[in-house]
Amino acid sequence: QVQVVESGGGSVQAGGSLRLSCVASGYPYRRNLVAWFRQAPGKEREGVAVIDTSGDATYYVDSVKGRFTISRDSAKRMVYLQMNSLKPEDTAMYYCALGKHNIVRSTWLKVTTYDYWGQGTQVTVSS
């Protein structure tokens, strides 16, 4: 069973930065996607950013483009989410997820694409 563990959450003021880390115990597919999702209280889980662990392809939700950057260290099975210019609306529990790569990029930020999930790390941005 693949395990996914997130770290790096915390509390910051608006305009600040945080870096989240995600480590997987293994990559179960020939090609894998690793994504960050977030879920605020009373809201649905939302895909934020995703990376193809075999290449350089990335994909972001519009609300974080230009502020968040997803990157990887495949040798360490690590994926990072650098979050800059944080806003109060970024406050949420952030989850790392692992799934099988597919060619339909519009599915990369959908919950149903992912089979393995971490427990989440809280990010709180105060105004």
pLDDT of residue 74: 83
Q: How far is the C-alpha of 107 from the C-alpha of 118, rounded, in Å? A: 20
Q: How far is the C-alpha of 103 from the C-alpha of 19, rounded, in Å? A: 28
Say if residues 118 and 97 touch (Cβ distance below 8 Å): yes
pLDDT of residue 76: 87
Which residues pair with residue 93 across a beta bridge?
39, 122
pLDDT of residue 56: 80
Give the pLDDT means over successive 10-residue stretches in the chain (127 positions). 96 98 94 97 97 91 98 92 98 98 93 98 97
pLDDT of residue 117: 98
